[in-house]
Amino acid sequence: MTTTTTENISFSVADAVKDGLSKKEKTLPSWLFYDAEGDRLFQKIMNMPEYYLTNCEYDIFQKYKNDILNLITKETNKFSLIEFGAGDGLKTEILLKHFVENDTNFSYKPVDISENVIQLLQNRMQKSIPDLDITPINKEYFSALDEFNEARTNPCIVLFMGGNIGNFEMEDAQSFVNKIAAKLRTGDRFILGFDLKKDPQMILDAYNDAGGITRQFNMNLLKRMNNELNADFDSSAFKHFPTYDPQTGTTKSFLISQKKQEVNLNAIDTIISFDKWEPIHVEISQKFDSEMINEMATKAGLSVEKYFYDDQEYFTDVVMRK
C-alpha cells in the first residue's frame, strides 16, 4: 500500500480517496498528483511556455542571489539553509552555487519525505557543487525542524519555494506558517515563494495549457485510482476545468463528470455515484497580493524584511524574519 505523509498524519491512498469522494462536495488531496507519472508530468508543466511561475522564480534568484546572500550574512557568517520540498533543485542550485563561490560558511539541509527525491537531489548537488556541505533530512517538515533545533549551534534560513504555499486553503496556509514560525528563533528567516494576482487569462492559461499537459496531469489522478485501487474511472467521461476568482485570488481545478455514472473502486469495496456535471475539486493554487502576504507574516509573528520580484512582478520571493 502506498503511504504519503503530510504534517504528522499518515494517509494511505485508499483512505484519502474514500474520504474525499464520500464528501458532499467531492474532493481529492493534491499530494495524490505525485506518483511517478505525476512527477514526470509536473516536470513537463514546469517547462511549458504558459507555466510562468518556474521561470519567474529562476529569474529572481539569478538577479538577486547576491542581495539575498548579503541580507543573510550581514547578521551572521554561519548558518543552515533548510529547504522544504526542493524538487529537482534547479532553482536552489543558483543560490547554492553563488553562496559556495563566495566562501560562505553554511550547510544545506534539504527536507523531503520522499527518499527517492532526496537521493536524486544529493546526487545532483554533489556533481554540480562538489564543495557544498549537504546533509539531507528524510522527514516531514515539522519533525525536520525539531531535529535541527535539538542540536543547533547557528541561525537558520528556511526556504519554501515554487509557490507551494498556494496549494493550501488560506486558513491552512496560515496555520502552516504559524507552526514553522513557532519553531524559529530570533534572527532566523523564512523565505517563501508566492505567486501573485495578475491578468486572469494568464493564470487560466497556466492551468489549462494549449498542449494539454495540465489536463493530462489532472486526469492522471483517475489513472492512479484505477491502478492502485482497481477502480474503473473512464477519463473520457470527465472534463478538466480550472477557475480563477480575481477577488479572492483563488485558482481551483476540477474534474467534472460529464454524465450520470457510477464508478467502482474495487480494492476498497466502494461505489461512487456522480450526477451529470458533478465536480471533484482536485487542487487549489492560491494567488496573493502584498496585503495578504504582510497579514500572513504578522499573524505568525514574523516581520517582512524584503520582497524580491521578477521584472514583470508576476511572482515574489519574500524574506521574513523572526
User: Which one of 27, 80, 92, 164 is in contact with ligand AVJ (CB under 6 A)?
Assistant: 164
- Does 138 bind ligand AVJ (CB under 6 A)? Our answer is no
Decide if 132 contacts 96 (C-beta within 8 A). yes
Q: Give the nearer residue to ligand AVJ in terms of CB position, either 50 or 147.
A: 50
CB of 109 to ligand AVJ, least distance (A): 21
Beta bridge partners of 263: 272
Strands (E), the chain: 3-6, 9-12, 78-84, 105-111, 156-160, 189-195, 238-245, 250-257, 261-265, 270-274, 279-286, 303-309, 315-321
β-strand pairing of 78-84 with 156-160? parallel
Decide if 136 contacts 122 (C-beta within 8 A). yes
- Does 92 bind ligand AVJ (CB under 6 A)? Our answer is no
User: Which one of 45, 56, 117, 203 is in contact with ligand AVJ (CB under 6 A)?
Assistant: 45
CB of 48 to ligand AVJ, least distance (A): 9
Q: Give the nearer residue to ligand AVJ in terms of CB position, either 21 or 53.
A: 53
Residue with the three cell numbers 537521493: 119
Beta bridge partners of 316: 194, 309
Contact stretch for ligand AVJ (CB under 6 A) within 105-113, 164-172, 197-205, 229-237: 164-172
C-alpha dist (Å) from residue 118 to 87, 97, 113, 144, 194: 9, 18, 8, 13, 24
User: Which one of 89, 163, 249, 279 is in contact with ligand AVJ (CB under 6 A)?
Assistant: 163
Site for ligand AVJ in 264-283 (CB under 6 A): 283
Q: Spell out a b/e string for 144-164, using b for 16 or more CB atoms within 10 Å of the CB, else e.
A: bbeebeeeeeebbbbbbbbbb
Contact stretch for ligand AVJ (CB under 6 A) within 10-18, 70-78, 163-171, 308-316: 163-171
User: Which one of 167, 178, 261, 264 is in contact with ligand AVJ (CB under 6 A)?
Assistant: 167
Rounded Cα–Cα distance for residues 321 and 148 (Å): 18
For ligand AVJ, how many residues bind (rule: CB under 6 A)? 12
Beta bridge partners of 315: 195
* Contact characters 201-240, ligand AVJ, x per CB under 6 A: ------x------x--x-----------------------
- Does 166 bind ligand AVJ (CB under 6 A)? Our answer is yes
Q: Give the nearer residue to ligand AVJ in terms of CB position, either 45 or 72.
A: 45
Q: Which three cell numbers stand for residue 171?
A: 486558513
Find, among 232, 235, 230, 231, the residue nearest to 219 by Cα: 235
Q: Give the nearer residue to ligand AVJ in terms of CB position, either 71 or 222.
A: 222
Q: Give the nearer residue to ligand AVJ in terms of CB position, either 93 or 283.
A: 283
Query: Interface residues with ligand AVJ (CB under 6 A)?
Result: 45, 53, 162-164, 166-167, 207, 214, 217, 283, 285
